[in-house]
Chain A
């Protein structure tokens, strides 16, 4: 039914008074700015982004085939171990992914230890695991001493300096039981886990820094909010002046 042919009709898109026309134009402009600022920018981010690997992922890809086939040399194993530690340092990983990564890391450390010392190393790790399970306070001196010892002993095996954050994580992620072999499960799932955590959507908008922020982060977290307040303020000022001009009183 066409209901528009009478004097008591309101439609945002067909304003009938000077006030309604001015208001319609104002609203259209502000909504347009608002929409493009929010969604336009995110679409631009999406268009410009490229999957960008972390250096650890490049190392992983380089050595993975030889590690999987059991033909990796010491340097390749070290690179592999360091790459898995790079993911283990990220707190987003799920318990299942952690188990896979722990298996890869523990097996690598075991492989980098000469055969006669492997049993001794496994014993040390087991000893540390039992202390870890028994303490009620992570500042327990005995626990800390064991942890530091293990880190100092094993970091060089992976080519990690004591200044590398990963050397601190290393003892916590080792498992004597998981170090026995690289499981089929790990062989099947590890590449996907590494790709998931070590490849990121980056572009010029994410790499460029502004006031210390990655630019896209600044734009979304700070600038958009300033823009929203600005739009609201401007709308109120414009509406007040429009009402004054047209002698409209609330």
Chain B
């Protein structure tokens, strides 16, 4: 146990070591104003959660199916705009330039697939969870259980990045150790999810969306105004920031504008920031395409996203909620690259030191001399983004555990009270597992979240795509597809984890490149689909009642 604790301490050393750089000064100690803002917002979330708390299982899983399409769109956006969107995307662009835009495109383009291939049909199918759909469509309790386990694994993988983001923001606000920040933040989000359930979560998500977007945009208006760019629409105004970074800003043109350390708003020419797959970033064309593709099909296979379509009254609402949801999401995604561009110039002086990329949004606001309370509000927005997603993920994971594993497989006669208890126990267990993994700080937030997308793309996406659109897709085909997708996922993740701990496996570089942990779905998903189709063609027909249901209920 001591060894484990020592290892965890070692992992936090980069966050606790001290040196005289701008980076350490930006961290500082306990910040009263931001802490008050953060606590106020968290209390607000809990109060809303209590006010709209789940009364029964239908409420807990699907908010009573009484949410409007605009409301559901806001909830989709809030659910979606996680720490990976709020903090991680700017981090990826700050660190690897144009390569980071693959995440922007991947995390938005997937909604087109989700809408035109699935949203309405999923709602018409009328199930509570992704595993419910898989179990019914493929007439197999085993597949239902496997679907539930995959949903839990995806939720855990997705949550790890969020807990990392919560930890970073709690650390920044409270000036405490990263490990403690993750534990405290995790405990708060767990308490909130347990109190509220999905109904509270849905109401909260609408409030969270407003907080997230307002907190994200205000500093951007200030930065563009302060540094003399087109501030009325910073999402367009930052284009000149990108071009200035590429061409360089000589001291003579810095117009005596400075960052919070007094360094001029100047930079040597930095084309690598915007040029595609630049050698300086170490990223290639294949990786750009692979990440965008994997994230897009992963979007259409994520249980907590699919689950949002169960909470709207009609299939039409499910479709329109995607449009609204995507628009609300894009407001943030159009803005995030601006933080990276400003961050690049404001932190260009070597004295600023190495900044934790995942906190670059907050650091950029600090370096730009934005008022500390507004920066605090921004950090609180980051926490809100992580909270809204984590709560949705924990509900999706616990639903899979209680509804699909406990009730449908283990104890079909369970009373609703016991079912709710199982859901809550599942939530606690998941939160504990996520906390332990998050403490290991394995990669950037955006990259950790991308793992969940590839996993979903290799496993759940083929099951939904073929299950909805091809009545000959059957149980043996589904099993074959899952096996292939599962094997590809296992290979990729094994090489990733081995690499993290210094173990070199056979053909390590080859596998690491072509089946990278953030984008293995580009290989895994097509193979899983092919295996699914081939085996379905060779085996017994799908039962009549399922084909009938597809025609009469889903496609009528």
Which residues of A come within 8 Å of B, CB atoms?
1, 3-4, 6, 8-12, 17, 19-20, 26-27, 30-31, 34, 38-39, 42, 45-46, 49, 54, 85-86, 88-92, 132-133, 135-139, 162-166, 168-169, 172-173, 195-197, 199-202, 206, 209-214, 216-218, 220-222, 224-226, 228-229, 231-233, 235-236, 239-240, 243, 248, 250
B542–A199 contact, CB under 8 A? no
Are B538 and A1 touching (Cβ within 8 A)?
Answer: yes
Q: Give the residue of B120, B266, B330 whose beta carbon is less than 8 angstroms from that of A239.
A: B120
Contacting pair B109 A34 (CB below 8 A): yes
Q: Can you spell out 30 A-B residue pairs with CB atoms less than 8 angstroms apart? A: A1-B537, A8-B471, A8-B548, A10-B555, A11-B469, A12-B469, A26-B116, A34-B112, A38-B105, A88-B350, A92-B280, A133-B20, A136-B20, A137-B25, A162-B251, A163-B250, A164-B251, A168-B264, A169-B350, A200-B275, A202-B275, A212-B239, A212-B243, A217-B101, A217-B242, A221-B337, A231-B116, A232-B323, A236-B319, A239-B120
For B327, list chain A residues within 8 Å (CB).
229
CB-based closest 5 A-B pairs:
A89-B268, A213-B239, A212-B239, A212-B240, A8-B547
Q: Tell me the bound Cα distance from A196 to B556 in angstroms.
A: 57
B268 in contact with A165 (CB, 8 Å): yes
Find chain B residues with CB under 8 A from A17 CB. Answer: 555
Nearest neighbor of A10 in chain B, beta-carbon distance: B471
**Whole-angstrom distance between the Cβ of B267 and the nearest chain A Cβ:** 7
Give CA–CA (A27, B487) in the complex, Å: 31
With A9-B472, A42-B285, A42-B292 already in contact, 5 other A-B pairs whose C-beta atoms are closer than 8 Å: A6-B547, A165-B264, A222-B334, A239-B316, A239-B319
CB distance from A84 to the nearest CB of B (A): 12
Tell me whether B322 is interfacial, beta carbon within 8 Å: yes
Give B348's nearest chain A residue, CB to CB: A91
Name which residue of chain A comes closest to B98, CB basis: A217
Selected contact of A42 from candidates B236, B289, B337, B548, CB within 8 Å: B289
* B 235-276 to A, binary, CB cutoff 8 A, 1 in contact else 0: 111011011001011111000000001111011111110111
Contacts of A12 in B (CB 8 A): 469-470
A89 CA / B95 CA spacing, docked (Å):
15
Which residue of A is nearest B538, CB measured?
A1
Chain B nearest CB, measured from A59 CB (Å):
13
Q: Which of B525-550 contact A (CB under 8 A)?
A: 537-542, 544, 547-548, 550
The answer for the CA separation of A195 and B279 in the assembled complex, in Å, is 9
* B322-340 contacts to A (CB < 8 Å): 322-323, 326-327, 330, 333-334, 337
Contact A220-B269, Cβ < 8 Å, known A1-B540, A168-B349, A173-B350? no
Kindly state the separation between the CA atoms of A94 and B281 in the bound complex, as whole angstroms. 11
Known: A90-B280, A224-B109. A250 touches B315 (CB 8 A): yes
The residues of A that contact B347 with a CB separation of less than 8 Å are: 91
- A20 to B: closest C-beta gap in Å: 7
Q: Restricting to B7-30, which residues have a CB under 8 Å from any CB of A?
A: 20-22, 25
> How far, in angstroms, from A221 to B235 measured CA to CA in the complex?
10
**Is there an interface contact between B550 and A10, defined as CB atoms closer than 8 Å?**
yes
Report the interface size for chain B: residues with CB under 8 A from the other chain. 93
- Bound CA span A243–B316, Å: 10
Query: Is B272's CB under 8 angstroms from A200's CB?
Result: yes
- Is B278 in contact with chain A by the CB < 8 A criterion? yes
- When chains A and B are docked, how far (Å) is the Cα of A235 from the Cα of B279? 39
How far does the Cβ of B375 sit from chain A's closest Cβ, in whole Å? 19
Judged by a CB distance under 8 angstroms, whether B230 is at the interface is yes
B227 within 8 Å of A (CB atoms): no
CB distance B268 to A39 under 8 Å? no
| Interface flag for B111 (CB, 8 Å) | yes
Q: How far is the CA of A31 from the CA of B297 in the complex (A)?
A: 13
**A152 CB, min distance to chain B CBs, angstroms:** 14
Q: Specify which chain A residues have a CB less than 8 angstroms from the CB of B279 in the assembled complex.
A: 195-197, 199-200
- When the two chains form their complex, are residues B104 and A221 in contact, meaning their CB atoms are under 8 A apart? yes
For the complex, give the distance between the alpha carbons of A45 and B101 in Å: 14
Distance of B324 from chain A, by nearest CB (Å): 9
Residue among A6, A206, A214 with the most chain B CB within 10 A? A214
Q: Do A42 and B266 touch (CB < 8 A)?
A: no
**Chain A residues near B316 (CB, 8 Å)?**
239-240, 243, 250
CB <8 Å contact, B288 and A42: yes
User: CA–CA, A228 to B104, complex, Å?
Assistant: 12
Q: Which of A1, A20, A220 contacts B105 (CB 8 A)?
A: A220
A225's contact among B113, B319, B330, B544, by CB below 8 Å, is which? B330
Of A165, A206, A210, the residue contacting B267 (CB under 8 A) is A165
| B108 located at the interface, meaning its Cβ lies under 8 Å from any Cβ of chain A in the complex | yes
Given contacts A212-B230, A236-B319, contact A165 B266 (CB under 8 A): yes
Q: Are B330 and A228 in contact (CB under 8 A)?
A: yes
Contact assessment for A229 and B330 in the assembled complex, using a CB-CB cutoff below 8 Å: yes
